[in-house]
Structure 1
């Protein structure tokens, strides 16, 4: 018998256990990302990494594969099977590591000590913690953010694809806008944890939060890198 219920309808003990497991899996996903990224940086030849961003259509193909695989990974993490859920999260971590590889490589070329990456990670964690605190302590309904995030996401994808095809630079303000969009996504997803998920779907909840954290990290890192270029 399936005894799982929505987090909003669960007991305080079940709710606390769900939140603990969700954020533990977010932390594990981040650690796994760091581990995989380190391995890729040491294994993948520099020519291959540069080729990923040197050819605009190859990068467009990579992003297309990433989008399709991300869709599948998200569905897997909401499966009733725990093995399938973990497979979805693992696939998504691998995809994020592959997508981040060129930018991390270039950031290390700019700053061999990795200080710029550490600064971006610190800012990302600080913003995530602050936004999460607002979501948990505020009694405001943030459901209105859903349409804003959806529309903003489609506009962003259109601009990114257009920039790749026609070769124009999206610039600093686009990155700032994406930081705001990622922050709104974290706020919305955190506030909806109790309403969207059942008590056994903490892996799926962790993937959604992890994806928004990585989006936030991506554009914070881009902003910091643009200041040094």
Structure 2
């Protein structure tokens, strides 16, 4: 089994070794899947908002240790989905992993989306945050795809940053203090770094047939940025 997987890995062609036309086709396919993920996320979110039971349950998970349980569950689903998408060549399993991750994102976003709509009694806040997020995502992705620069060196810094962020979130939840605006700004910077890293992986890490796991990584970075951009918009007076 391991020997077969090793041979399969060796026969894969990295995107960086493809012709320009094949690279463009890979990028288009990947970003089409990211866009599809956003549409499925919106659909899941809409359906969840229609369920009073599911909405009330998600709101009840915001208190103290319950939020930590939900956050921990989300991290487990994230690790499982990313691992499944990367370790299998079966497209059905990759789509299943991607769909599972989108569903988890939709659920953890549910309370904040609900409050954002209630805050303005319309979708203005969500639309503003979405526009800013997409503009930043597009700009950062363009920098990597145009320059072809390898941002793999960001991995260590991102790992340390995420562990620090998790520690601060745990401390804030357990001891009841608000992390504030600057934490959200810092997380936006971390999310921006993640977008650079994930986009760099498109060029330097993934093979021609791995557009689904590539899309999952980009979608995860996009949603992280959207989460904290929306928090910043919601913190305004």
TM-score in same-fold range (> 0.5): yes
Which of the residues 37, 53, 64 maps onto 1:56?
Answer: 64
- Alignment partner, residue 37 of structure 1: 45
The question of 1:69 aligning with 2:69 is answered no
**Displacement after TM superposition at 1:192 (Å):** 2.3
- Alignment partner, residue 29 of structure 2: 21
**Displacement after TM superposition at 1:139 (Å):** 4.8
Do the aligned residues in 1 keep the contact of 2:184 with 2:229 (CA within 8 Å)?
Answer: yes
Do the aligned residues in 1 keep the contact of 2:81 with 2:97 (CA within 8 Å)?
Answer: yes
TM-score for the superposition, normalised by structure 1: 0.95
Alpha-carbon distance in structure 1 between the residues aligned to 2:52 and 2:66: 17
- Alignment partner, residue 5 of structure 1: 13
Where do 4+ consecutive residues of structure 1 move more than 6 Å?
A: none
Do the aligned residues in 2 keep the contact of 1:52 with 1:102 (CA within 8 Å)?
Answer: no
Which of the residues 219, 224, 231 maps onto 1:210?
Answer: 219
How many pairs does the alignment contain? 227
Structure 1, gaps ≥5 residues long: none
User: Alignment RMSD, CA only?
Assistant: 1.5
* Higher mean C-alpha displacement, 30-39 vs 41-50: 41-50
**Displacement after TM superposition at 1:12 (Å):** 2.4
User: Over residues 59-92 of structure 1, what are the superposed CA-to-partner deviations in whole Å (9 max), with x where a residue is unaligned?
Assistant: 1111111111111100121211111100000000
Alpha-carbon distance in structure 1 between the residues aligned to 2:169 and 2:120: 26
Structure 2, gaps ≥5 residues long: 1-6
Alpha-carbon distance in structure 1 between the residues aligned to 2:93 and 2:78: 14
Alpha-carbon distance in structure 2 between the residues aligned to 1:139 and 1:69: 31
TM-score for the superposition, normalised by structure 2: 0.91
**Displacement after TM superposition at 1:97 (Å):** 0.1
**Displacement after TM superposition at 1:161 (Å):** 1.1
Q: State the SS of the aligned residue for 1:192.
A: helix
Alpha-carbon distance in structure 2 between the residues aligned to 1:160 and 1:151: 14
- Alignment partner, residue 3 of structure 2: none
**Displacement after TM superposition at 1:4 (Å):** 3.3
